[in-house]
A = this chain, B = another copy of it.
Amino acid sequence: MTDKTPTVHDVARRAGVSTATVSRALSDADKLHPDTLERVRQAIEELGYLPNGAARGLTSRKTRVLALCFLDQGDPESDAGDDAMLYIDGVVRGMERAARERGYAILIGAVQDPDAALDLAVSLASRADGIVLLGQAAPSSAIQRLKRLPVVVVAGRCEDDQGWVDQVRVDNAAGMTELVTHLIEVHGHTRLAYLGGPADSPDAAERWAAFRATLTAAGLPVPLPLVGDFTQHTGAQAAEVLDPVPGAVVCANDQMAIGLMTALRDRGVRVPEEVAVVGFDGIDLGRHVRPALTTVRQPMQPIGAAAVTLLERRLRVRDLPPEDLRLPTQLIIRASCGCPIPRLA
């Protein structure tokens, strides 16, 4: 009883055929005589043979793997950071489903430290046919270094590398514009406050820009933004600061909006009667808080799926102009903006 893991040779010997035949049994099964096929099947079964992916990848120059590289800054213990993870979970799901249809598996890697992103990306890229770089995990150094293989940047910095690599983003500007316009035109708000996200978030930047542009276009004054860190905690803090309570508070993401609403309620301020609160992202939780959160939905899964589509396209055709996909957002009107409660939450 040999304990080494069996190879094609072992299978071949046991089945009384050549290694080539074994190989064919695994791919072009139909090009074999049924009896031969059966013998090989037997041998494989009996030996517990598993093909060696590395050897396969070496000859075929393909791995049938698509990688995803992202930053996981969440404190493993607390609930903070869950927001980003919720987003990532959606993207992963979308990628996996899209990849599955095309015969790919997804390789996932994350780091805490942005400075480690490059090494991780290289390490993942060396085992994949293409790679998706998520948000902050896409320093231009990484993009340069990986130029040899298909790279898609999702939710990356806006300025850098534009027209350089394929990108997938969400149309933050359109979403925010739609949201603010709703507040102004439907509810007649004129005093809007803004609770923004971290300065290094491209999404946060785009949302803020669209917010002020929309106010300006409407001839309304642009408030000084509060700057949060995308956590519920930060949203709660904002409730303390907002003293002359404005008519409405626009938050750069849902978590902060929810934290804010909760703290406001604790302070005895009624939402949406006294102040409207709206968010951005469309996380599931927003459907279940009371009042249900009016927000702008980011299509997480479609983002993941689009990234895979782009990767696969470039795997087939290398010489293609870079694509810069902006996926549409969707305004989701619920109760926190002051709209009547719909029949179904």
Q: Which residues of A are interface residues toward B (Cβ below 8 A)?
A: 5, 48, 50-58, 63, 65, 67, 72, 76, 82, 85, 89, 92-93, 96-97, 100, 105-111, 122-128, 144-149, 262, 284-285, 288-290, 301, 345
Residues on B with beta carbons closer than 8 Å to the beta carbon of A284: 82, 284-285
Q: How many copies, total?
A: 2
* Given known A97-B76, A290-B290, contact A105–B105 (CB-CB < 8 A): no
Closest B residue to A97 by beta carbon equals B76
Bound-state CA distance A108–B123 (Å) is 17
Other-chain contact of A110, B55, B57, B100 (Cβ < 8 Å): B100
Contact A5 B148 (CB under 8 A): yes
Residues on B with beta carbons closer than 8 Å to the beta carbon of A5: 148-149
Q: A72-B96, A106-B109 are in contact. List 18 more A-B contacts (CB 8 A).
A: A50-B126, A51-B122, A53-B54, A53-B128, A54-B56, A54-B63, A55-B58, A56-B126, A57-B127, A82-B284, A85-B93, A96-B108, A100-B109, A105-B109, A105-B124, A107-B107, A262-B345, A285-B285
Shortest beta-carbon distance from A84 to chain B in Å: 11
Contact B50 A58 (CB under 8 A): no
Bound-state CA distance A127–B60 (Å) is 14
Provide a sorted-by-A list of 14 A–B residue pairs whose CB atoms are within 8 angstroms. A5-B148, A48-B147, A50-B122, A51-B122, A53-B127, A54-B55, A85-B89, A96-B109, A100-B111, A105-B108, A105-B124, A107-B108, A262-B345, A285-B285
Closest 9 CB pairs of A and B: A54-B57, A53-B127, A53-B126, A89-B89, A105-B109, A54-B58, A288-B288, A106-B108, A51-B126
Contact B122 A108 (CB under 8 A): no
Other-chain contact of A65, B96, B107, B289 (Cβ < 8 Å): B107
Bound-state CA distance A50–B301 (Å) is 30
Residues on B with beta carbons closer than 8 Å to the beta carbon of A56: 54, 126
Contact B53 A57 (CB under 8 A): yes
Residues on B with beta carbons closer than 8 Å to the beta carbon of A126: 50-53, 56
Contact A48 B148 (CB under 8 A): yes
Bound-state CA distance A126–B289 (Å) is 45
Shortest beta-carbon distance from A287 to chain B in Å: 9
* Given known A50-B122, A54-B63, A122-B50, contact A105–B127 (CB-CB < 8 A): yes
